[in-house]
Amino acid sequence: MKFSIFVGDIADAPAEALCTSTNPRLSLIMGSGASIRRRGGPAVMRACEALLAGRTNLPPGTAHPTTAGALPAKVAIHCIASDAAHRSSEAIVRSCVASALACAHALGCASVAAPIFGTGHARLRFATAAEAMAQSAAETPSPIEHLIFVTNDEENVATLRAILETAAGQTIHIERSQKVEPEGDSFWSFSPGMD
């Protein structure tokens, strides 16, 4: 599996499957979840509401696919990167990666873009979460061809690149978004990794 880094908004990442890092209630109000909800349109939130029908929470470490709505991606995959108390862990992050890759493959996707799980509201350290994600992806047998690690924080790029090169034993390509976020959206796009 090829690894690369995309610096920018998850909704602009060039992948067939776009992951969110969210909570057990699929709130999609911060970070990657907010971006995909906003840019994908109402169909994304309706699909999340259908996933939760009859349930209070979804289990941490699991991944749940929905439509990507108006986005060009084939699918959005919502990764439950924290528990109900908004705590994350390396084990939860590793499980999210394996679950997301399995979902993407089952839906016929060759490429997956994912934020660094658990580093927003759940406050897992960026390097800790990135290492857990890289190790899980490297150790998980998967036919997925390309995993794109997404960050919207330029300060984390060098750390992420070093972690990925160690885990994958390959030179990591970095692509930066050419799009500029509209003013007024900074609250929703804030965080080093996302929810």
35 C-beta neighbours (distance < 10 Å), count: 27
3-state SS assignment for residue 112 = strand
pLDDT for 1 equals: 95
- The edge-to-edge listing of strands for the beta sheet with 75-80 is 63-66, 75-80, 17-22, 111-115, 146-151, 2-7, 173-176
- Amino acid of residue 131: E
pLDDT for 180 equals: 61
pLDDT for 181 equals: 54
Asked if 45 contacts 53 with a C-beta cutoff of 8 angstroms, the reply is: no
Asked if 170 contacts 136 with a C-beta cutoff of 8 angstroms, the reply is: no
Instruction: Tell me the sheet residues that pair with 71.
Output: none
- Low-confidence residues of the chain, pLDDT below 70? 180-195
pLDDT for 148 equals: 98
pLDDT for 179 equals: 76
Which pTM was predicted?
0.91
Rounded CA-CA distance 23/88 in Å is 10
